[in-house]
Amino acid sequence: MLLEGYKPFTSPIGKGHRGIINGTNSFHLIQTCPSSSARAGELVTPHGIVPTPVFSPVGSQATVKTMTPEELKNIGITMVVANTYHIYLRPGISVIETIGGLHQFMAWDRTILTDSGGYQIFSLARLREVSDQGVTFRSHIDGSQHLITPESVIQFQESLGADVIMVLDECPSYTDSLEEVRQATERTHRWAERCQRSQSRSDQALFAIVQGGVFPELRRKSASFLTSLGFSGYAIGGLSLGEPKVLTQAIVEETVAWLPESKPRYLMGVGSPEDIVKCVTKGIDIFDSALPTQVARKGALFTWQGRYNIRNSSYSQMREPIDPDCDCYTCRNFSVAYLHHLFKCQELLAYRLATIHNLNFMNTLMNRIRNAIVNGTFSTFRDSFLANYQPTDDNLRLAQKQKWLDAWNHRKVSKS
């Protein structure tokens, strides 16, 4: 049986403030941190309970790369993020409808969130033309031309049947001017209204996306406007696009200040352990990012001291697991030397064992964060984590991001 169906809400921790989203979706705050904006809660969907703060792995093409649903469950993953843009292009929305929806197609019976594809259209697709009607673009796969509107994006996501769906947004580049970002943000607002009006299913939670780039005033206006429309949750989009991390943190703080306490807050595309800990402090509930799985496939493995690259020749004879205290399948069974060997041979098992470890690390991190909030020890946990965890050098990170951005800007959107 692929779909276990609705699981009735039974809070494992206790009752809290309830913020009913709709008939089958709700969000409850269970505990807030006395010395920061951190909070523990529960997102309840037709496919189970998602304890928050949560990190959700990305399965853009209806698969979390290298993982089976069974492995994700064994790790404790409660929600995955799939992508409307990717699935619309391949295999096509109608195929998913034929099979009986995205849960059935992926054989994932827990919560799914689908992103609208806004970000992907602005980062992957070619020859974009944006107007108030929607976006015309050419597929990055075969060059075929498509028009996507706020209405069609909702229709697609209703066909896919995810538990949480997203509005169509226009995602400006980090290097765009104040005026360009203002226009994109205002269009995002008009599109959000149209998405809301066109929603016909009552069992899906629709989240709005706050834009406004790195301009605090635009962020405030965007958060206030979207909040006035009354969505089931609020995402912060348009960050982690090449700006310095201190700026990301500042904008998150600015934006969260204008969002309602009772609704879930989702920071899109942020997924490094240190960023997550910092943004939980600022009141974020939901994170998603390809980073933990993407770097795993390059051999970068998370530990509580930072990231290690298993391809380094110094690991060729190491008998120990990556982390002797880790309870993941990889660490329980394999030496660092074996993983090093698999990476050197480019064996497919390498990418999978590394992904299992990194996703298990992320899930353990989120459990520790949540327990600390519930137990009132979050600020101690945060300080201890950040003191021990050596983040990737920010200059190196920005240089890598810049390369990507240069390519991105090269294909800059033509606006009308």
Asked if residues 130 and 12 have their Cβ atoms less than 8 Å apart, the reply is no
Residue 383 φ/ψ, nearest 5 degrees: -60, -40
Hey, which bits of 299-364 come out as E strands? Answer: 300-303, 306-309
CB atoms closer than 10 angstroms to residue 32: 18
Q: How far apart are CA 188 and CA 126, in angstroms?
A: 20
Q: Does 312 bind a second copy (CB under 8 A)?
A: no
Q: Which of 65, 138, 146, 311 binds a second copy (CB under 8 A)?
A: 65
Q: Does 333 bind a second copy (CB under 8 A)?
A: yes
Size of the site for a second copy (CB under 8 A): 39
Q: Does 349 bind a second copy (CB under 8 A)?
A: yes
Q: Does 321 bind a second copy (CB under 8 A)?
A: no
Q: Which of 20, 107, 178, 407 binds a second copy (CB under 8 A)?
A: 107
User: Which CB, 37 or 293, lies closer to a second copy?
Assistant: 293
% helix / strand / coil in the chain, to the nearest 5?
Answer: 40, 20, 40
Q: Does 2 bind a second copy (CB under 8 A)?
A: yes
Amino acid in position 361: F
Q: Does 4 bind a second copy (CB under 8 A)?
A: no
Amino acid in position 407: A
Q: Which of 12, 14, 34, 70 binds a second copy (CB under 8 A)?
A: 70
Minimum CB distance to a second copy, residue 85 (Å): 13
Q: Does 106 bind a second copy (CB under 8 A)?
A: yes
Asked if residues 279 and 288 have their Cβ atoms less than 8 Å apart, the reply is no
User: Which CB, 316 or 384, lies closer to a second copy?
Assistant: 316
Q: Does 302 bind a second copy (CB under 8 A)?
A: no
Among 15-23, 58-66, 209-217, 223-231, which window interacts with a second copy (CB under 8 A)? Answer: 58-66
Q: How far apart are CA 173 and CA 238, in angstroms?
A: 8
User: Which CB, 245 or 352, lies closer to a second copy?
Assistant: 352
Q: How far apart are CA 358 and CA 55, in angstroms?
A: 12
Q: Does 98 bind a second copy (CB under 8 A)?
A: yes
Structure tokens at 345: 């041979």
Sheet holding 39-45, edge to edge: 17-20, 26-32, 39-45, 48-52
> What is the C-alpha radius of gyration for the chain, rounded to an integer number of angstroms?
21
Q: Does 63 bind a second copy (CB under 8 A)?
A: yes
Q: Does 100 bind a second copy (CB under 8 A)?
A: yes
Minimum CB distance to a second copy, residue 301 (Å): 17
Q: Does 145 bind a second copy (CB under 8 A)?
A: no
Asked if residues 159 and 148 have their Cβ atoms less than 8 Å apart, the reply is no
Q: How far apart are CA 405 and CA 243, in angstroms?
A: 11
Minimum CB distance to a second copy, residue 345 (Å): 5
> Looking only at residues 149 through 208 of this chain, which bind a second copy when binding is defined by CB under 8 A?
none
Q: Does 95 bind a second copy (CB under 8 A)?
A: yes
Give Cα separations from 132 to 23, 118, 129, 138 (angstroms): 32, 14, 10, 18
376: left (phi over 0), alpha (psi -120 to 50) or beta: left
User: Which CB, 70 or 179, lies closer to a second copy?
Assistant: 70
Give the DSSP H/E element, type plus range, for residue 206.
strand 205-210
In 3D space, the residue among 3, 10, 9 whose CA is nearest the CA of residue 23 turns out to be: 9
Among 202-210, 271-279, 280-288, 342-350, which window interacts with a second copy (CB under 8 A)? Answer: 342-350
Beta-carbon contacts of 178 under 8 Å, excluding residues fewer than 6 positions away, are 213, 215, 218
Q: Which of 11, 24, 36, 61 binds a second copy (CB under 8 A)?
A: 61
Active site residues: 115, 288
Q: Which of 317, 375, 377, 402 binds a second copy (CB under 8 A)?
A: 317
Among 127-135, 178-186, 266-274, 336-344, which window interacts with a second copy (CB under 8 A)? Answer: 336-344
User: Which CB, 182 or 340, lies closer to a second copy?
Assistant: 340
Asked if residues 318 and 353 have their Cβ atoms less than 8 Å apart, the reply is no
Q: Which residues bind a second copy (CB under 8 A)?
A: 2, 61-63, 65-70, 90-91, 95, 98-100, 105-107, 316-317, 319, 329, 333-335, 337-338, 340-342, 344-345, 347-349, 351-353
